[in-house]
Structure 1
C-alpha cells in the first residue's frame, strides 16, 4: 500500500493528531478542511480547502489530492464530525439536519468519492464514530443516530468492497480532549465527573484515538474490516469494581 493518506476533518483535534502521527512515520498527507487558517497548522504535504458534506465538495477533495500528490491515496481517514447534546423533545429539525449533514452525509460522500477514485483497487479507510452509537447515553439521540449511520455505512461498504482488498473500519471514541469538547471540560467539576465514567479513569487525548486509527490504516491490521473499535477506556463494555 502506498504511504499516502487523505485525512478529512484534518484541522480538528483527532484529525490533527492523526496527521502528526502519520507525518512522523513518513506518510504523505493530503489534509482536507473547511478553514484554511486552521489547516495551516496541520503537518501535511498538501492542504485542501473543501466541504465534503456535499458530493461536489468530496469530489473536489479527491481531484485536488490526486493532482497534488500524483495519485489517489490508498488510505483514507474521515475525521469530520460535530456533536449535539439535547433530549429528543428539544432537538430542533434544523439542528438534526445539520448534524446529519456534518456527520453522515460527509462520511457517505467522502467514501463514495474515494472508492470511485481508486477505481477498484485495494485500500484502507477508517471513520470516526462515537461511544454513543454503541451504548445508550441520555440526551444523545441525534448524534447517536448520526454515528450509528456511519457504523452501518462502514459495515455495508466493507462487505461490498472486500473482494478487491479494500478494508473499511471505524473507531468509536469516548470523551476525548479536543477543541470540540473544550466547553464540556472547562470546569474542574465537569472534567472530574466525565473522568469518573470511564473504568480506566481520566479523559483521553486525541493522540490515543489517532494511534488506533493509524494502526487500522497500516499492514498490522491487514485482517480487519467491517469493524468498529471502541477507544473509550472500557466505557461501553465493562464496569469498574465499586469500592
Structure 2
C-alpha cells in the first residue's frame, strides 16, 4: 500500500486517478480549490507556500500528481495579458510548485507526475497560450528529472489529447465539432479521463522506478499520427 497526494483531485482526470488508486488499496490525500466531499486539503496550487503546507499536512507520501490547469483557445493576438497569466499560473506555475515542494519534502524519493498536453507536442491552431504553458511543463519535467535523480525522485508527465472532461465540454458541444475533433486523432475517438488516469497510475507506481524524465503521450495519435486538419 502506498500513499499518494493528488493535487486538483476534483478535475475529471484527477478524480479518475483517485478511483484507480483507491481500488488498488492505496491511500489518497486530495486537494482542490473548493471544499467538497472528497477534498482533504483546500489549496491554490499556484501558491508556492500553500503547496508546501499541503505536503506537510499530507505527511509522508510515495508520489504526487498535479492535475491543475485551465484552457484558453485563441491565437496569441486575441489573448489578453490576464488570460495569458491565468493559463501560465494554472498550467505551469502549479507544476513548478509541485516539483519544488516534492524536492523539499520527498527526500527519500518517490514519483512526481505532471500534466502536459498534446498541444505542446503538435502544432494546433488557436492553442497558443496553453501550448506555451504545457511546453513549459515538458521542459520542467526533463530538467527536474535530472536535478532530483540522485534523490531517488522520479519526474514524469503525461500529455493527453482531447479528453472528454468538464474543461473541454464546449469543444465538442455539437455533433459537427465532435466529429472534427475525433478526426484529428488517428484512433478516431476522444479520450476518457480513465485513459489518462491509467497512464498516471503507471508512472506513479514504484514498480516502474527506472522511468524518469519521460513525457507519455496519451492522445490517440494526435501528436504524431494525426491527419492534417486545418481550422
Q: TM range, normalised to the smaller chain? A: over 0.9
Deviation per CA, 1:135-188: give whole Å up to 9, x if none: 111111111110111111111110011122211100000000111011111211
The answer to whether 1:148 aligns with 2:135 is yes
Question: How far is the alpha carbon of 1:109 from its aligned partner?
Answer: 1.1
1:53–1:102 Cα contact (<8 Å) kept: yes
2:16–2:194 Cα contact (<8 Å) kept: yes
Deviation per CA, 1:54-73: give whole Å up to 9, x if none: 1122122112212xxxxx21
1:52–1:61 Cα contact (<8 Å) kept: no
**Matched residue SS, 1:94:** helix
Distance (whole Å) between structure 2 residues aligned to residue 166 and residue 101 of structure 1: 24
Q: Which runs of 5+ in 2 are unaligned?
A: none
Question: How far is the alpha carbon of 1:215 from its aligned partner?
Answer: 0.5
> Which of the numbers 49, 55, 64 marks the counterpart of 1:62?
55
Distance (whole Å) between structure 2 residues aligned to residue 220 and residue 236 of structure 1: 28
TM-score normalised by the chain length of structure 2: 0.94
2:185–2:225 Cα contact (<8 Å) kept: no
The answer to whether 1:169 aligns with 2:162 is no
Question: How far is the alpha carbon of 1:221 from its aligned partner?
Answer: 2.2
After TM superposition, list the pairs within 5 Å mapping 1:33-182 onto structure 2. 33-37=32-36, 40=37, 42=38, 47-66=40-59, 72-118=60-106, 120-182=107-169
Deviation per CA, 1:70-99: give whole Å up to 9, x if none: xx2120111111111001110100111111
TM-score normalised by the chain length of structure 1: 0.90
Question: How far is the alpha carbon of 1:210 from its aligned partner?
Answer: 0.2
**Runs of 4+ deviating beyond 4 Å:** none
Distance (whole Å) between structure 1 residues aligned to residue 111 and residue 119 of structure 2: 24
Question: How far is the alpha carbon of 1:239 from its aligned partner?
Answer: 4.3
The answer to whether 1:4 aligns with 2:8 is no
**Matched residue SS, 2:4:** strand
Distance (whole Å) between structure 2 residues aligned to residue 5 and residue 26 of structure 1: 11
> Which of the numbers 208, 215, 225 marks the counterpart of 1:221?
208
CA shift in 2, pair 1:239/1:97, >3 Å:
closer
Partner of 2:199: 212
What is the aligned length?
Answer: 227
Q: Which runs of 5+ in 1 are unaligned?
A: 67-71
**Matched residue SS, 1:171:** strand
Partner of 2:16: 17
Distance (whole Å) between structure 2 residues aligned to residue 153 and residue 47 of structure 1: 27
**Matched residue SS, 1:111:** helix
